Amino acid sequence: MRAPRALWVPFELGRPLGAPDEPAFQRRVLTEALSLLVSTEGPVVLEDFLDDAPGPKAEDSTGWVCPVSFPPPPSEDEGPVVALMGEIDALAPWYQASMDRRGRTLVGVSGMTPRDAARYMVSFLDDEPMERPDNAKPTVQTFKDAFTDLMAYYSEAGTAQPGRRSSRETQSWFWHETAAGRILLELRAKLMAGSDKKLQFVATKILLPKTQGG
């Protein structure tokens, strides 16, 4: 892009207005950006917004820990579906607490419940994955949408309580402290080694964040 007027901001990716629930700060950013419209110093105006956003930075350690107590992991014989369902059920009251506090949820992209989204994804560990719930959608789209919903469910439930935390901490919690994270890493390895090029792409590029080794 080559926008004629741009305000460079130092905030982490995904937060172009700086910080959530900081209306005064967001308005400052917006006012500075829109003020560039009255500049007559073209053909390009690029200004810097130098103040950091309020709150922890992406890589900060705040001491945040997820308060959810998960059931003990099932035995090897019971398999990944049992582990995931137990975890999703344990998160349910926290997810509801998130809905109560935030008044909204980002779950709803796939049209599946979190349990069904998880079951669908885990089926790719088998040689014959489950049939798509909506056959009009390509497999890779169904897979991506199920993943988006599962991530949203975990992230909202895990952060249901207000408080300081950094985005890197919540990512690390999901990928390193949950059964879902462990199973998705296993699934990622399987899909990367598989023959379906589109699923290989999804596994390589859009499952694991680069901050977590993706």
Partner 1 sequence: MARMEDFVETEQEHMRSLPLNEFESMPWAEGPSLSERRVAIVTSAGLSLRGEEAFGLGAADYRVIPSTTNSGDILMNHVSVNFDRTGFQDDVNIVFPIDRLKEMAADGEIGSVADFHYSFMGATDPALLEDSARALAGMLREDKVNAVILTPV
Note whether 133 binds partner 1 by CB under 8 A.
no
Least distance from partner 1 to the Cβ atom of residue 155, Å = 6
Residue 8, SS3? strand
* Nearer to partner 1 among residue 29 and residue 85 (C-beta): 29
Phi, psi of 48 (to 5 degrees): -105, 135
Which residues, at least 6 apart from 71, have a Cβ–Cβ distance to it below 8 Å? 86, 87, 90
- The residue range among 41-49, 88-96, 112-120, 179-187 that interacts with partner 1, by the rule CB under 8 A, is 41-49
* Nearer to partner 1 among residue 11 and residue 74 (C-beta): 11
- The residue range among 76-84, 86-94, 114-122, 137-145 that interacts with partner 1, by the rule CB under 8 A, is 137-145
- The residue range among 84-92, 98-106, 113-121, 177-185 that interacts with partner 1, by the rule CB under 8 A, is 98-106
* Nearer to partner 1 among residue 122 and residue 144 (C-beta): 144
Picking from 145, 148, 123, 119, the residue whose alpha carbon sits closest to that of residue 134 is 145
Note whether 209 binds partner 1 by CB under 8 A.
yes
Q: What element of type H or E holds 96?
A: helix 79-102
Cα separation, 214 vs 200, in Å, equals 13
Positive or negative: CA dihedral 212, 177, 107, 131: positive
**Binding test (CB under 8 A) with partner 1, winner from 60, 81, 108, 133:** 108
